[in-house]
Homo-oligomer: A and B are copies of this chain.
C-alpha cells in the first residue's frame, strides 16, 4: 500500500479497533514519518512516508486546539478495545472474554423493548407521529424520573434534564462551566471527567512524573482511606466530580461521608457533579442520591443513566438534575444556563429511547430492571469470591458491578497484559483511571454467566 505525498492514510475505517491511527503522535507534513499502521488481516505494516520532490500536502492555517494536544493518549476504553482486538488477531482460536469495557451483555427485558417498538410503529401513524421533542425531555419522562428516583427529596420534574447519556451530559456540563473553572476529581476516576476538563482548557499540561494534569485537584481514593478522600488535604476548587458507587473502585460513599462532602463543598462554595450511574447496584443503605443529604440541592448537580440499569448502553438515555436552588456566585441559576446549553448544543434524547424509559419506570419495568441488575450483581459476587479465594485483596463489588483487585507493587498495565495473554480475559488496568489506580485492575461484571464462570476458572488457574 503506497503512501502518497506524506499524508498519513488510515487503512480501513476509523473505529475503536483501529485506534492505533489515533495513538498520540506528532504528525507534521514536512518530515519523513515512519508509522506503524494496523492493516486488517495483515498485521502491522510499516509505512515510510517521504516527501516527494515537488508536492507538499496542503494544510489549513487553523491551529490545532492546544487543549486537544494536551491529552496524553487516546480515551481509555478505545485503547482497551484496540488491545482486545489485537489479541484476537493474535489468537484467532482463543475464546476472549471481555470484562474490560463495562458493556452490558444481557437482553433488555421485553416490557421495555416492546414499548420502544410500539413507539417506533406509532411514528408511522398520524396520531402517533412526533417531531422535535422538548430539549429537556418529554414531560412524562421527566416526571417519571423525578418521582421514581427523587420522590420526597424535593427534586421536581423541572429540575430533570433528559439526555442521550451521562457521558454526553458531562461534556455539556463542562461547556457550561467554561475554561476558567478548576476541578477536583477522585483518583482513580472515570476518565471522561479529566479528559473533558482538559479539552475545555481547565487544566495545565500533563506531568509525566506524577501522571497528573496541572491544575486538577486529584483526591486519592485508596483502601487506606476507605476510598473516600481526606478532605482536609484537598485544595479548594470550583467543581468537584464525585462518582458513587464508584467507577472503577466500586466504593459507595456512606451518608456520613457524603454529608462531609456536601459540607466541604458548601464551605468552599464549590459545585459537586455527582455521578450516580450505578446507584441501583447499591446493596446496603448507602445513599442512592446526593440529594438525600440535607443542603445538597444548593451545591450539587447529579447525573445518571439507564445504561447499566436497562442495558441501554446502545439505546442511549440518561439524565442530569440541576436543582433550581443551585446558583452561581452572582445568584444566576445554574439550571438556566444548562437549559441554554441543552437548547443550543443538543436536540433532545431520542423519542424511542424515551418511550423505553417510560416502560423502565413502570412497576413491571422496575421489577424487570431489578432482575437484570440482580443478575450482574451475582456475577460480581462470583468474581469477588474468586479473587478472594486466591488470596487477593478485593474491593468494590458490593454496591457496583466492578471488582477492584489489588496487585501491590505491580504495574497495572503489566497485570492487564499478563491476564490477557495468559487467560484471554480483558480487564482494565487501574492506572487508566488515574495514578491512584496503579497497582489495581478493574474487573467488570457484565457478561453472560458462562463467560463469568469461565473467566473465573481461568483466573483460578493462573493465580492458584
Query: Which residues of chain A have a CB within 8 Å of any CB of chain B?
Result: 7-10, 12-17, 21-22, 26-30, 57-69, 71, 74-75, 77-78, 101, 103-110, 112-114, 116-118, 120-121, 123-126, 128-136, 139, 142-143, 156-159, 161, 164-165, 167-168, 170-172, 175-181, 191-192, 195-196, 199-201, 238-239, 266, 268-271, 298-299, 311, 313-316, 324-337, 339-341, 343-353, 356, 446
Contacts and interface: CB of A to CB of B under 8 A. Distances in A.
Given A60-B299, A68-B178, 4 more contacts: A60-B328, A68-B337, A132-B313, A168-B347
A356 to B, nearest CB: 8
B13 A156 contact: yes
Contacts of A331: 27-30, 57, 59
Nearest to A106: B129
Nearest to A327: B59
A293 to B, nearest CB: 14
Given A120-B117, A271-B62, A336-B21, A131 B104 contact: yes
The 3 A-B pairs with the shortest beta carbon distances in the complex, nearest first, are: A61-B269, A171-B345, A65-B178
A113 B108 contact: no
B353 A60 contact: no
A58 B295 CA distance: 10
Given A107-B123, A132-B103, A343-B75, A329 B27 contact: no
20 contacts: A7-B324, A14-B335, A22-B339, A27-B333, A28-B330, A29-B327, A59-B328, A61-B238, A61-B269, A62-B328, A65-B177, A68-B340, A74-B340, A75-B340, A75-B344, A108-B123, A129-B311, A313-B347, A316-B351, A352-B353
